[in-house]
Structure 1
């Protein structure tokens, strides 16, 4: 009796053997999305400025090695350090002889009224959230072009705050920076399409993280206000963005570039 061969389910979502860089992956959304890429078969290189990643990082790295046959490696670096960043990305590309993708999730937040915001604070916000994202994407694209690949895919993490002003959340510089990321994604897509490099952005809604939980301790009314601001009446969790990461970095989105994937529970669709 012949035995049946199990065929892969939806093979276009596979990231087997692909090499992907994820910035801001020491914790939070970046780490959760890195884990999804590992499960889909990718080898992931995590970049972050923290001296050490969260305790979950080692657990995920061990699981990747034992269960998925993939790897998760950590590098401490600030995405604003242009020369060091380019050297690191080149070394990763040289190690594998390929570089297939990027999720640029590194970013900072600061809630301050516009009348009180200092120029130095604005510069710091833009340097990390915009310049840092640009430099990371640039460093990765340079290696893709140098290696003569048929292309690659990038997902830049923006925010629904790049599309709307958040009621009750005073973050003028942050929101402006995320609007810039959305526009940056479109322009990089237009320039790099000739190399087969796709660039899209992901705009999450409100996510429950350790940072937002601390914020709710200070402003408890926001938990309900934010949840009631979207059509599902709840906040999101980092796990709900796993599929978006795999979709955008895989061949499942092979004809998608220059787009913003907004995942906000309908917040901006009222």
Structure 2
């Protein structure tokens, strides 16, 4: 926008420069005139005088009260992570604790492996986070619901869940029995489904607008070259679709204040976990093949998924539901 020079001169005569700031655009360049009223206190002086009047020490305007990346902080919140005894589940639980959360790791093992103690040892008290372990087989849905209820009651809230428990089996499709299929789906789909419903029930009870994250897999979108696991892959596809449907059902806040529960997925690519290391033992050359099949030419580590999990379980993703974050090194992008 252009402004007539005569108009600018007229305005200057009508309103002295010392009274108010004047901003005008001329010939595409910004022209700014600042106030010359020296009697007005600066922003820093005003803040100091206001604060001092309340009997408090003056604030440093260069150090705002608000924390950096506050939307990613989960201090004071309570989470459950299934499959939390080791591998990806434990790593994601540790990430939430690093961000200040109180995290309950659930797994069917009587005791977590040695990496759990190492994870607890890495937590610093000033972070405010905690890790707790509870033995729980997610296929025992009655006791699962009782444990989730107990955790929520003890804390007066439940803010989020990461459903990471899952099993895999390498076997050609023609060799599967109905019983084997049923057992795998009991863990990878039914157990995950019941984890979500138990958690949502408590979130609605305490009116926590929580977040649920399913650990799916890129295997729910593609068939893995060199690895015959048709039931595992199809179970992960079902998990992605389940997230969409639960998001549709639970995300809207209801008149009674319940709901507002977001449901999303993370679909990892190939990760070096105990389960995957077992695959490498079963299939010679598989590691090298997988490394060559993504754009980064390597496999991932569990630590590389912490950021995505904290994002989905925190306020940083407050408008995200029914989505699937694929973190696969570009494997499914070509």
Normalised by the shorter chain, which TM-score bucket? Answer: over 0.9
Match of 1:173 among 222, 227, 231: 231
| Cα distance per residue 1:148-198 (max 9 Å; x no partner) | 23x110110000000111111100000010000000100000000121100
| Aligned length in residues | 269
59-68 vs 139-148, greater mean Cα deviation: 59-68
Cα offsets for 1:113-157 (capped at 9, x unmatched) = 0000111110011000000000000000000111123x1101100
Alpha-carbon distance in 2 for matches of 1:64, 1:93: 23
Shift of 1:109: 0.3
Task: Choose from 130, 139, 164 the match for 1:71.
Answer: 130
Could you say which structure has the greater relative contact order, defined with CA pairs below 8 angstroms and 6 or more residues apart? Answer: 1
Q: Which has the larger radius of gyration?
A: 2
The answer as to whether partners of 1:25 and 1:48 remain within 8 angstroms in 2 is yes
Q: Which runs of 5+ in 1 are unaligned?
A: none
Alignment-derived partner of residue 155 in structure 1:
213
C-alpha distance in 2 between matches for 1:199 and 1:240: 21
Q: Measure the CA separation in 1 of the matches of 2:204 and 2:282.
A: 47
Task: State the Cα distance separating 1:65 from its structure 2 match.
Answer: 6.2
Name which of 149, 157, 172 aligns with 1:113: 172
The question of 1:46 aligning with 2:110 is answered no
Partner of 2:190: 131
SS at match of 1:232: coil
Range with bigger deviation, 23-32 or 201-210: 201-210
Higher helix share: 1
2:181 matched to 1:122? Answer: yes
Gaps of 5+ in 2: 1-57, 253-258
- For residues 35 and 205 of structure 1, what CA distance do their matches in structure 2 show? 20
Query: Paired residue for 1:207, among 253, 256, 271?
Result: 271
Q: What SS is found at the alignment partner of 1:89?
A: helix
Q: Is the 8 A contact 1:65 1:71 kept in 2?
A: no
CA deviation after TM superposition for structure 1 residue 51, in Å: 1.4
Q: CA deviation at 1:64?
A: 3.1
Name the TM-score, length of structure 1 as normaliser. 0.95
Determine the structure 2 residue equivalent to 1:186. Answer: 244
Query: How much has 1:213 moved relative to structure 2?
Result: 2.7
1:142 maps to 2:206: no
> Does 1:23 pair with 2:82?
yes
Distance (whole Å) between structure 1 residues aligned to residue 302 and residue 129 of structure 2: 21
Q: CA RMSD in A?
A: 1.5
Residue of structure 2 in register with 1:164 after alignment: 222
Q: Per-residue deviation at 1:216? A: 2.3
Deviation readout 1:42-79 (Å, 9 max, x if unpaired): 00011000111011212322443635222211111111
Give the structure 1 partner of residue 18 of structure 2. none
State the alpha-carbon separation in 1 of the partners of residues 282 and 203 from structure 2.
Answer: 45
2: CA distance, partners of 1:225 / 1:196: 43
